[in-house]
Amino acid sequence: MGLLTDLKSSISRAASVLFAENEPKRIGIYGPPNAGKTTLANRIARDWTEHGDAVGPESHVPHETRRARRKENVEIERNGSTVTIDIVDTPGVTTKVDYTEFLEHDMEKEDAVRRSREATEGVAEAMHWLREDVDGVIYVLDSANDPFTQVNTMLIGIIESQDLPVLILANKIDLEDSSVQRIRNAFPQHETTPVSALEGDNMDEVYDKIAEYFG
Amino acid sequence: MAEVKEPRDGVQIDLISGQRMEGLTSMEKIRMILDGVREGNIVILEEGLSPDEESRLIEVTMTEISPDEFTGLEIETYPRSETADASFLDRLMGKQQTQKLTVIGPANQIETLHKDENLIQTLVSRR
């Protein structure tokens, strides 16, 4: 009886591994607010999905994305083979949200307070996804900004502690103040790929890396 | 936290030893930090938090942010990757090095002036 139970359990484990391997991996797009995460998610979705629908609205106002959004079955073709992933666009991670900062973007107090409340919920949601529900991470940084921030240090540490594959993108290389090397210096233990998600610069290399890291 | 004397005109700094943190669960550590920070104190941890605890600290902080009351926290550690240096076996055995001096304060009272691999400079203001 014990042998039969063991056998059933082994078959069940093997089947679940086999099944899991066929399921698309969920790749979370993480990073601080305003790094261009949604712009990247939209660029990938437009390039590789049938209808090219956007994942979410893009904006220069921080915390435009306040809910994690998943785009399923994105099929990326590289070198004759196809990598299928689900991309999860997440709200920018921070340790503080002050509604008064939104007032500077011509927002009424009521709207600013609501946006800050939704933003805090979104950050909590993003952290939960990171601990429980993603199989890999694309970490997006604005290459015109200082990468030595606590949020970046902590998030990369959290990702490493979970042994998730992580692809670091130095975004916004079209900007004059962009410095890819600064990001390479901040996270020397990882490879950094330059990109402009807005302009579409170097997206081919990004897709090569996605296939290499998450395929 | 032990009872403190009458508050004076200044900023209270709680230096918490690794030994004191050792016997606490993750949620007890997070509660202790957030209670201190919400009172306007600067909390300095001798040995810091694990990546998982940092993740939960962010999550719990977000649930406590409230307009005109609490805008969150500022947290600083040195930007080095302790977990990346540990081998997979070390991590599996729970031997990863997490000791890192950590400074945490209310977001509206603490401002980072400079930070690199070896130096953190912060400006602390009164409420």
* Residue B38 forms part of a structural domain: yes
Nearest chain B CA: its distance from A4 CA (Å): 31
Nearest chain A CA: its distance from B6 CA (Å): 29
Looking at residue B5, what is its pLDDT? 60
Backbone angles phi, psi at A169, to 5 degrees: -110, 130
Cβ A95–B54 below 8 Å, yes or no?
A: no
Q: What percentage of chain B exceeds 90 in pLDDT?
A: 53
What would the pLDDT profile of A25-41 be if each residue is shown by its tens digit?
999 999 999 999 999 99
* Number of compact structural domains in chain A: 1
Cβ B59–A124 below 8 Å, yes or no?
A: yes
* Residue A199 forms part of a structural domain: yes
Q: How many CB pairs under 8 A join A and B?
A: 94
Residue B8 has pLDDT above 80, yes or no: no
* Residue A96 forms part of a structural domain: yes
* Residue A18 forms part of a structural domain: no
CATH number at residue A77: 3.40.50.300
* Residue B66 forms part of a structural domain: yes
Cβ B75–A152 below 8 Å, yes or no?
A: no
Range of the domain at A90: 24-214
CA dist B97 and A157 (Å) reads 12
Which range, of A112-121, B18-27, B88-97, B105-114, averages the lowest pLDDT? B88-97
CA dist A56 and A63 (Å) reads 12
Beta bridge partners of A30: A139
Range of the domain at B85: 13-124
* Number of compact structural domains in chain B: 1
* Residue A43 forms part of a structural domain: yes
Cβ A98–B116 below 8 Å, yes or no?
A: no
**Which chain B residue shows the shortest CA-CA distance from A128?**
B59
* Residue A3 forms part of a structural domain: no
CA dist A93 and A193 (Å) reads 21
Rg (CA), chain A: 19
Q: What is the DSSP letter of A24?
A: P
* Residue A87 forms part of a structural domain: yes
Residue A5 has pLDDT above 80, yes or no: no
Strand spans (E) along B41-101: 42-45, 73-76
Nearest chain A CA: its distance from B8 CA (Å): 27
Partner-chain residue, chosen from A95, A121, A130, that has the shortest CB–CB distance to B72: A95
Partner-chain residue, chosen from B65, B76, B81, that has the shortest CB–CB distance to A157: B81
What would the pLDDT profile of B62-101 be if each residue is shown by its tens digit?
999 998 899 999 998 875 545 445 555 555 555 455 568 8
Nearest chain B CA: its distance from A51 CA (Å): 35
* Claim: this prediction has a pTM higher than 0.80: yes
**pLDDT band at residue A88 using 50, 70 and 90 as cut-offs:** very high
User: Whole-number mean pLDDT of chain A?
Assistant: 88
* Residue A82 forms part of a structural domain: yes
Cβ A95–B65 below 8 Å, yes or no?
A: no
CA B69-B72-B76 angle, 5° bins: 145
The region, left, alpha or beta by phi > 0 then psi within -120 to 50, assigned to residue B2 is beta
> A163 to chain B: which residues are within 8 Å by CB?
88, 91
End-to-end Cα spacing for chain B: 21
Partner-chain residue, chosen from A95, A116, A156, that has the shortest CB–CB distance to B81: A156
What would the pLDDT profile of A93-112 be if each residue is shown by its tens digit?
999 999 998 888 888 999 99
What would the pLDDT profile of A164-208 be if each residue is shown by its tens digit?
999 999 999 999 999 999 999 999 999 999 999 999 999 999 999
> A130 to chain B: which residues are within 8 Å by CB?
55
* Residue A118 forms part of a structural domain: yes
> B88 to chain A: which residues are within 8 Å by CB?
163
